[in-house]
């Protein structure tokens, strides 16, 4: 069985889209793949209760618990890794997980760590992507599913969706339209990966 673990920090709408696709397209029977756990760095993440209601295992590894450590990021990532590795995942799916991960963590999940980013990478890595696209006068924006590497919001691109930037757009309205596309392309990209697991190695 190909196990998948999803990491979230908030409402988890991309997580919901992934879980819905797994159920609708019967990933368990067709590809021997299942989403088995949802983990958050935020104990108040609203997505956790939804995931629990779906029968998924949920965990919290609160990054604030590690702030007094000599190396807080590394200590948090090590604890997170221990929590994830219980499930021996084929894929670790970042779905609005708002933490920058250490090189050791990324290396541990080499070629298994997937992210969705709300811009057409390589343009606008980082935060405030929609506002930056509007300010720069871009006519198109979008979303990118990519493998995670040590360079923030880079790594091999697995899927992209393009959304027009309208003259009336604000960061909020553009974000909402991009999000609807995220919910389509993220499950599609993951399904492609679990269809051909040998290609992920």
Give dist(CA 29, CA 113) in Å, integer.
23
* CATH number of the CATH domain containing 136: 3.40.50.170
pLDDT at residue 201 tops 90: no
State which residues form the domain around 103.
Answer: 2-200
pLDDT at residue 190 tops 80: yes
pLDDT at residue 73 tops 90: yes
Q: What is the pLDDT of residues 14-46, one digit of tens each?
A: 999 999 999 999 999 999 999 999 999 999 999
Q: Is the peptide bond before 191 cis (omega within 30 degrees of 0)?
A: no
Q: What is the pLDDT of residues 93-137, one digit of tens each?
A: 999 999 999 999 999 999 999 999 999 999 999 999 999 999 999
130 is catalytic: no
Which pTM was predicted?
0.96
* Confidence band, pLDDT 50/70/90 cuts, at residue 197: confident
Catalytic residue among 117, 130, 146, 183: 117
Number of domains in the chain: 1
């Amino acid at each position: 069985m190909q196990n998948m673990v999803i990491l979230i920090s908030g409402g988890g709408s991309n997580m919901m889209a992934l879980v819905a696709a797994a159920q609708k397209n019967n990933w368990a029977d067709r590809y021997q793949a299942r989403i088995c756990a949802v983990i958050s760095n935020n104990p108040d993440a609203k997505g956790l209760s939804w995931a629990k209601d779906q029968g998924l295992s949920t965990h919290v590894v609160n990054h604030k618990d590690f702030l007094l450590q000599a190396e807080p990021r590394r200590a948090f990532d090590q604890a997170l890794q221990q929590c994830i590795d219980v499930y021996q995942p084929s894929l670790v799916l970042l779905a609005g997980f708002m933490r920058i991960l250490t090189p050791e963590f990324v290396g541990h999940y080499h070629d298994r760590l997937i992210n969705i980013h709300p811009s057409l990478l390589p343009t606008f890595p980082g935060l405030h992507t929609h506002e930056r696209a509007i300010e720069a006068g871009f006519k198109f924006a979008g979303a990118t599913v990519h493998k995670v590497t040590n360079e923030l919001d880079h790594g091999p691109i697995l899927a992209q969706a393009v959304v027009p930037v309208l003259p009336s757009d604000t960061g909020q309205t553009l974000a909402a339209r991009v999000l609807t596309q995220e919910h389509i392309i993220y499950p599609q990209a993951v399904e492609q990966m679990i269809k051909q697991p040998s290609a992920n190695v």
